Amino acid sequence: MRKLGITTLHPDDDYAQTGVIGGLHSGTTVEELTNAYGTIPNGGIFNDAYMISQITDSEGNVVYRHKAEPRRVFSEQTAFLMTDMLRTVIANERGTAHDLTGLFDKYGTIPIAGKTGSTQNYADVWFMGFTPDITLGVWAGYEQQIHTLSDNGKKRARHIWAKIMNETVKEKPTLFKTESFARPDGVVKATVSSVSGKLPTDLTRQAGLLTTDWFNEKYLPKEPDDALVKFKYISYNGVNYLPNPATPEDMVSEKSASNGKSRLTS
């Protein structure tokens, strides 16, 4: 987070497990969080936000010019995978920002991704959304967490985001020049076990427990699925028992189950 320009971190945040869901000592500013999210569509490269490009004197001499100092924080592959996940926040019907499919006028033409957020009791709501070219962050809430936003207030960050982006598209259409999120080299699709994320076995395939998704080629799973096992058993009065070597085969049944979760009595 520090590499992404977050300066409000407290030493306690280094040890707080709640930090993974935003439970920080002081929180973050809208500017810094938006700045950090901009690293994702930028392929993992962070550029610090600035407001002044250059200053000239009365004779036109440049006395100050902003100098960009980009730095890579994470890989292009990681940035793409993050983008792919954050697109489902909007595209998936159960996504927390699915209403943007009807609020953003250019949805379907300009690709968007993003992340919603809220504090306890909806005292604050956030939306960090981006296209391949533009990142916009919105916060709505109260200065002190003593109020709860109304039902309409809970949607406010997303609605403001859509209003600003719709106007930006109208006034500055050339800012939206990239038609899609680029997929870098080294990202491939692979089918894995939906139980363990490892390579599917015949047993996994027979059970239909498969999922196909994007992967960083460097980190493709190499071990076979060990979450499913096939075992033999006999059933008596509703209780499953492990057979012994002398049990007749016509009394033995066979099934698959998650490893370590079978209810068997020996």
Same domain (yes/no): 125, 27:
yes
Residue 260 pLDDT class (50, 70, 90 cuts): low
Q: What percent of the chain has pLDDT over 70?
A: 96
Higher pLDDT among residues 58 and 150, named by residue = 58
CA diameter of the chain: 102
Residue 180 lies in a domain: no
CA distance 256 to 232: 9
3-state SS of the chain: helix, strand, coil percent to 5? 30, 25, 45
Q: Considering the entire predicted model, what is its pTM? A: 0.83
Beta carbons of 98 and 92 less than 8 angstroms apart: yes
Q: Please answer whether residues 198 and 226 qualify as being in contact, where contact means their C-beta atoms are separated by less than 8 angstroms.
A: yes
3 within some domain = no
Spatial CA neighbour of 124 closest among 45, 223, 247, 33: 33
Q: Give every CB contact of residue 123 below 8 A, 6+ residues apart in sequence.
A: 141, 142, 145, 146, 147, 148, 149
Distance of CA 266 to the CA centre of its chain: 44
Q: How high does pLDDT run on average in the chain?
A: 90
* Least confident among 21-25, 58-62, 75-79, 135-139: 21-25
Amino acid at site 8: T
Residue 109 lies in a domain: yes
**What tokens does 12 get?**
């306690």
- 207 and 232 fall within a common domain: no
pLDDT in tens, 188-238: 999 999 989 999 999 889 889 999 999 999 999 999 998 877 778 888 888
Quick check: is 2 in a domain?
Answer: no
C-alpha span between 247 and 234 (Å, rounded)? 9
User: What range defines the domain where residue 209 resides?
Assistant: 187-219
Tens-digit pLDDT profile for residues 135-167: 999 999 887 777 788 888 889 999 999 999 999
We report the CATH number of the domain holding residue 54 as 3.40.710.10
